[in-house]
Structure 1
């Protein structure tokens, strides 16, 4: 069952930082693909829900799940996975995905909130806070102090 998520719990920043490091200069481009694919996936899931078509939910939910995990958006990935699982079960039992409706209703706001956090963090204008302590790092000091 999905729990309400707020603020920083929408993104695992350790996973995000790892992806950013691994993708290097391609990070912003890949994040753009996530945005485009995510908008399409969320729309396709909503359309499939309106049509009561479980089969049409499976692929967009699966895609959203994988792409969200790549950026550390675990709550979004978990919600997409729940929708995918329900849809797959409904395909097997030849049932409508009506039990997924409450989850589909939560999907767009969660996607939008998650994307806003990812975009804010990816912005070249985002404030970068240096890690405190550790090898080669000084702890922050006040102006004029040493």
Structure 2
């Protein structure tokens, strides 16, 4: 599954998080990378072990951290996995129904992370909104 960058990240929420976190933003995004890699691996291992209980906490963690940066599709996928896992724990049932979601998790995580890190990189040149800017003619003129 491939998303365009505009649908993977709510850039308004991203900008808000960036403003609120200030100088610590890049460091916290680094924690998101570290925690996310661990969470995805733990969810995949839980799926291989057919352990719904082991899936709940890493899915919950990934859900919350994703939404903090405006990564809503990733947060929603993690929430789906968490809900399935919780239901399976309550029913004392196999977590097989989570498989299709777990398979989509790793590529979506890394695709989203690449967008977040690219936008957070201070060395990336950005075009001003509207195509204007100092020395440039605004669009439509």
TM-score (norm 2): 0.90
Which contiguous aligned blocks of 4+ residues in structure 1 show a shift greater than 6 angstroms? 137-140
Structure 2 residue aligned with 1:91, among 66, 80, 89?
89
Structure 2 residue aligned with 1:61, among 52, 59, 62?
59
**How far does residue 125 in structure 1 lie from its aligned partner after superposition?**
1.0
**How far does residue 9 in structure 1 lie from its aligned partner after superposition?**
0.8
Aligned to 2:111: 113
Question: Does structure 2 conserve the Cα–Cα contact (< 8 Å) formed by 1:54 and 1:96?
Answer: yes
Aligned to 2:36: 38
1:47-103 C-alpha deviation (Å, 9 max, x unpaired) = 000000000000000000000000000000000000000000000000011000000
* Corresponding residue pairs, total: 137
In 1: Cα distance, 2:67 partner to 2:8 partner: 11
Return the structure number with greater helix share: 2
Structure 1 residues 13 and 140, CA gap change in structure 2 (3 angstroms)? farther
- Cα RMSD (Å) of the superposition? 1.9
In 1: Cα distance, 2:54 partner to 2:126 partner: 41
Question: Does structure 2 conserve the Cα–Cα contact (< 8 Å) formed by 1:90 and 1:96?
Answer: yes
Say which is worse superposed, 18-27 or 123-132, in terms of deviation: 123-132
TM-score (norm 1): 0.87
Question: 5+ residue gaps in structure 2?
Answer: none
Question: Does structure 2 conserve the Cα–Cα contact (< 8 Å) formed by 1:5 and 1:75?
Answer: no
**How far does residue 4 in structure 1 lie from its aligned partner after superposition?**
5.3
